[in-house]
Structure 1
């Protein structure tokens, strides 16, 4: 994924990540780059103005929100249930690149 993102500046309207358990590469340490400041910046640069990054996570992560904002994203964090009205709670990070 890294190579793909690094090749494309302002090409994507959206990047959707459901990788590992969220912003901590718990299962595969290679995934840590995606959530690092460098990876977050690369994703930001790969998005068109107004483009959106959506990231599924098993739980909240305030440091990831901080990295997203530091990169320039407008960030919204949603908590959702696994199934309507029941099941585990998950976190969705919605990060929008400014349209300007």
Structure 2
């Protein structure tokens, strides 16, 4: 049976994360729910992919970083989850670097990577 895993991340900016998720084809909802079978977790940012993949992020107790909520054990989606997450986090890292360099333009970076 699948379950939801909660993993700490280095992600801190929900706006840049949302841009990265949209660029990877996810529908994003602020204040959503991520579900797996009978488990549901409230998240600050929920991402739903047309393939059925669900990812969510919520603030941790210290509010500086975000935890990832995902079903990493789903047999049909395991590989898809990992590769999608890698692509999203790569885009997030690029967006963060561009913003820090003063080169960030949300419309331009959605097609990059």
TM-score, normalized by the shorter chain, greater than 0.5: no
TM-score (norm 2): 0.26
* TM-score of the two chains, using structure 1 as the length reference: 0.28
